[in-house]
Chains A and B, each alone.
Chain A
Amino acid sequence: MSEQPISSVSEPRLTSSFAAATSSWLPSVILLLVTIVAWEAAVRIFAISTFIIPAPSQIAQSLVAQWGTLMQATLVTAAEILLGFVVSVVVGVAIALVIVRFDWLGRALYPLVVLFQNVPKVALAPIFILWFGYGLAPKIGLILVIAFFPVTLSMLAGLQSVDRSLLSLMNSVGASRTQILFKIRVPHSLPNLMAGTKIAATLSVIGAIVGEFAGASDGLGYVIQFASTQLDTPLVFAALLLVSVLGIAFYYAAEILERIVVPWAPKFSHA
């Protein structure tokens, strides 16, 4: 047979892409280290007040000194993010499925969802505090309204982009609408859904911090606000650092999830 399988060709490329990834990371790491050293030097040479910009060494000291408090706050915020993220994905997927499965409901719902997207949702935070108090619930609510939309939108794009001739094939053997939805459309939409999930992961971190700013008695957002009123700028930066680490961790968790859920996606097959 004249046809050749592609798999044998793509294997050696895998190792070279790993080497390429390492060499593409290296300049960033060097730049980061240089920036930290320059930052430290600048603060010392120009004797910049700690209240304005703390030196990296002072941030590190604060991080060590307040480790217990910071870890406790990180756990609280991480729990908010995780729970809010899961709720956002579940609700986002449910809305997309309803829009695709039930025509009339979809036609009614979709414009409203898009309209709602134009509401500045960060401004809803005080209202959520008013309704749900200072605990977990208002943060979950805020993350939900911020993060469900990219999930719904990306899933919808996937659900609706199934090739017409594939649908013809399914119709020709008498497949029902529900069968086409769950056997074809949903699996087909998973790569899109995973892309939306990564955006939702990032937005969940923002939602949690904004929720804590608006009113909380714990969490990294609370620490940032409290420390800034105390003019403890090194602690503000230490908490900021941990928020960033959380954001990165959730993003990569979503990326790993993507590789597990859709190993067949075009993105992974030829890289």
Chain B
Amino acid sequence: MRIDTIRAAGDRPAHFRHDDLIAVKGVSVVYARQLVLQNIDLSVPKGSFVSLIGPSGCGKSTLLKVLAGLVEPTSGSVSIAGLSPVEAARKRMIGVVFQDANLLPWKNAVDNASMLLGIADKSLSRAELRARGQEMLELVGLGDSAHKRPNELSGGMRQRVAIARALALDPAVLLMDEPFGALDAITRDSMGQSLLEIWQRTGKTIVLVTHSIDEAIHLSRHVHALGIKPGRITGSIDIGLPYPRDLAVTEDPEFVRLVVQLRTMLRASHQPGDAS
């Protein structure tokens, strides 16, 4: 069990500590002559759970794609354990989960879970891949559904397989882009809770993009709020609530205070006069 170190709320790291797994320095992204991200500084400590939150069009998904090596920043630098994102991805250090599970409908859950690993490491036998896939399905609570095809699984179960597929790579960091965005509220809550358990069991570093204030505070240790036009980090909050957290934490006065603080922060960056 890691115990959270409580820092002053709103305190943005001015320098990068050596235990940071991810260090983003002065990253800007220009796409179609639009400034999508402006001068992003972000550090993600190893083993932490960090959320990026902001309104639609704030570039939070683009920032995640920059971390995954899928979008090249126009300027600035990104380091993942000293490597560029593309190098880190090639070394299977990055697992990605999108809003759509994107499972292959012709493969069952266990083969879907090991699919990316099979591409990344051609030396593994079919049996080894199966074993790894099964292990990951058990980790996400789907050990019994290994032979079901995606059309036999619910939306939440499909997303669990997508998480298992990312974890099968044994990545250092799990990048998640609104992974629960398409799920109903009840499934969402149970998925969030499962994700916390997986995080604590595996010790992975998780970066989560979300538009849910409750989800960000419930799950993460650090929350970074992004503003719109251009996309930039407008504030950061450390969530001091102790782990393990369950849904009861959402009734904690500290939780409520953090919700208000984060909402105020997001609203401030959303003011029409604030656009620069």
- B55-96 interface (Cβ within 8 A of A): 65, 68-70, 89-90, 92, 94, 96
- B145-159 interface (Cβ within 8 A of A): 145, 148-157
Q: Is A266 interfacial (CB 8 A cutoff)?
A: yes
Q: Is B30 interfacial (CB 8 A cutoff)?
A: no
A2, A4, A165, A173, most chain B CB atoms within 10 A: A173
Q: Is B100 interfacial (CB 8 A cutoff)?
A: yes
Residues of chain B contacted by A103 (CB below 8 angstroms):
none
Distance between Cα atoms of A4 and B155 in the complex (Å): 9
Contact across chains for A173 and B89 when beta carbons are under 8 A apart: yes
**Size class of A's contact patch?**
20 to 34
Given contacts A165-B100, A168-B96, contact A173 B157 (CB under 8 A): no
Partner among A6, A163, A165, A190 whose Cβ is within 8 Å of the Cβ of B153: A6
Contact across chains for A269 and B102 when beta carbons are under 8 A apart: no
Given contacts A3-B154, A5-B148, contact A174 B106 (CB under 8 A): no
Contact across chains for A173 and B102 when beta carbons are under 8 A apart: no
Distance between Cα atoms of A7 and B151 in the complex (Å): 8
Residues of chain B contacted by A270 (CB below 8 angstroms):
151
Contact across chains for B102 and A266 when beta carbons are under 8 A apart: no
**Size class of B's contact patch?**
35 or more
Given contacts A3-B154, A3-B156, A262-B106, contact A173 B148 (CB under 8 A): no
Distance between Cα atoms of A173 and B115 in the complex (Å): 11
Chain A nearest Cβ from B84, distance in angstroms: 13
Q: Is B187 interfacial (CB 8 A cutoff)?
A: yes
Chain B 138-177 against A: per-residue CB contact (8 Å), 1 yes, 0 no? 0001000100111111111100000000000100000000
Contact across chains for A179 and B119 when beta carbons are under 8 A apart: yes
5 residue pairs bridging A and B, Cβ less than 8 Å apart: A168-B96, A169-B116, A171-B70, A172-B68, A172-B89
Contact across chains for A6 and B96 when beta carbons are under 8 A apart: no
Q: Is B120 interfacial (CB 8 A cutoff)?
A: yes
Residues of chain B contacted by A165 (CB below 8 angstroms):
98, 100, 102
Which residue of B has the minimal Cβ distance to A171? B70
**Which 8 A-B pairs rank lowest in CB-CB distance, beginning with the nearest?**
A269-B151, A173-B120, A3-B156, A7-B152, A3-B154, A166-B102, A165-B98, A264-B105
Contact across chains for A264 and B102 when beta carbons are under 8 A apart: no
Contact across chains for A175 and B119 when beta carbons are under 8 A apart: yes
B92, B119, B169, B190, most chain A CB atoms within 10 A: B119
